[in-house]
Amino acid sequence: MTDNQQTNRITIRQLSKTYPGGVRALNQIDLEINGGMFGLIGPNGAGKTTLMRILAGLMRPSQGEARVMGHDLHDSSGRQAVKASLGYLPQDLGIYPNLTGREFLDYIAILKGITSSLERRRQCDSLLETVRLTEVADRKVKGYSGGMKRRLGIAQAMLDTPQLLIIDEPTSGLDPEERVRLRTVLSEMAKRCTVILSTHIIEDISQSCTDLALMYKGQILFRGSPSTLIGQARGKVWQITTSGESPNNGLSVVSMLQLENGVRYRVVGTPEPHHEAVLVEPSLEDGYIWMLQQARIAVH
Ligand SMILES: Nc1ncnc2c1ncn2[C@@H]1O[C@H](COP(=O)(O)OP(=O)(O)OP(=O)(O)O)[C@@H](O)[C@H]1O
Ligand SMILES: [Mg+2]
């Protein structure tokens, strides 16, 4: 293992988090993350944001061990050290509405300890360009669209070339063109640092991550490469054409297409024989649906 991989390494052992109200958001998680781009996926409430906040040093775990780049997150000195080399985009980033985009970035750059105004200017200009906000940089943030605010949030996370970039749903609210652009930007970043991103847009993971974790109810349901997750659903994904009625229960409908004289469904599961289903190649989304379907069956 190279030095770079060693310092990028994140090690989590038996990590749990119970919120004051009693919600167990993380339940004895074991996870190792090395360099490159790591995807976190899972349904609402699975624990993705909780895990990211702990890794960002913003919240203490209830139990277990978490080390980021050699620093122990149980110690306040460890959390401080992680924060110093971290870029973080929270799921709900509050941006002072009366600042312009450029002023906001400059303010965050000061908080990150970039003391030279010339250097701040250089970085802000370059990042505004990266997220394509140069044209609106001197407009107040309150006049930005949702996607523009999100892109400004991504820019602030990338200030001062972090060693670890944790971004919580970076692509939510971005139009398809900007999403594709951002994927490229993040892939470039991931060549130099560890990027952990959570998303509900499964396609973003399949395009950019080599490694991912699927979370469910505070646990890791799957850990591996996108292609291995796709493989989980092989032989379970079918195309069924009906005259209109939806297929039997026990199947998850992934998509449907209105035809001239019927409806074509793509389903995950085991169809009944009368459906005359045709087996199709699975996608990453099918793998995700299949794993969750099995987990829910196991719970009931
Ligand atoms: N501050 C909090 N106080 C109490 N419970 C919380 C708090 N934050 C999150 N939770 C609970 O912890 C669980 C995990 O929440 P978390 O936000 O980590 O999920 P998530 O995977 O990020 O979901 P989403 O996809 O909706 O963003 C949920 O049951 C949630 O209700
Ligand atoms: Mg979340």
Report how far ligand 1's centroid is from the alpha carbon of 23 (Å): 9
Give the pLDDT band of residue 244 (cuts 50, 70, 90): confident
Q: What angle is formed at CA 161 by the lines to CA 158 and CA 167, rounded to 5 degrees? A: 35
> What residues have CB less than 8 Å from 299, skipping those under 6 apart?
none
C-beta 90 within 6 A of ligand 1: no
d(CA 276, CA 274): 6
> What residues have CB less than 8 Å from 249, skipping those under 6 apart?
none
The whole-number pLDDT of residue 8 equals: 55
The residue contributing the CA closest to ligand 1 atom 17 is 49
- Please choose, from the candidates 218, 220, 222, 259, the residue with its C-alpha nearest in 3D space to the C-alpha of residue 45: 218
37 φ/ψ angles, rounded to the nearest 5 degrees: -105, 125
Domains of the chain, CATH where assigned: 1-85+166-224 (3.40.50.300), 92-161 (no CATH), 231-299 (no CATH)
Report how far ligand 2's centroid is from the alpha carbon of 149 (Å): 18
Q: Are the C-beta atoms of residues 131 and 96 closer than 8 Å to each other?
A: no
pTM of the model: 0.92
- Determine the atom of ligand 1 nearest the C-alpha atom of 26: 14
d(CA 169, CA 92): 9
Give the pLDDT band of residue 275 (cuts 50, 70, 90): confident
- pLDDT tens digits, residue range 4-34? 445 558 999 999 999 999 999 999 999 999 8
Give the pLDDT band of residue 228 (cuts 50, 70, 90): very high
The whole-number pLDDT of residue 299 equals: 75
Write the CA distances from 214 to 48, 117, 284, 291, integer angstroms. Answer: 9, 42, 11, 9
Ligand nearest to the CA of 53: 1
- Determine the atom of ligand 1 nearest the C-alpha atom of 52: 18
d(CA 12, CA 39): 16
Ligand nearest to the CA of 27: 1
- pLDDT tens digits, residue range 179-203? 998 999 999 999 989 999 999 999 8
Counting ligand 1 atoms within 8 A of each CB, the residue from 49, 168, 201, 219 with the most, and so the one to mutate, is: 49
Residue spans of beta strands (DSSP E) within the chain: 10-18, 24-33, 36-41, 63-68, 71-72, 86-89, 164-168, 194-198, 211-216, 219-224, 237-242, 252-259, 262-268, 278-279
Please, is 273 exposed, middle or buried when counting C-beta atoms within 10 Å of its C-beta (0-12, 13-18, 19+)? exposed
Report how far ligand 1's centroid is from the alpha carbon of 22 (Å): 12
- pLDDT tens digits, residue range 111-133? 999 999 999 999 999 999 999 99
- pLDDT tens digits, residue range 257-269? 999 888 999 999 9
Report how far ligand 1's centroid is from the alpha carbon of 168 (Å): 12
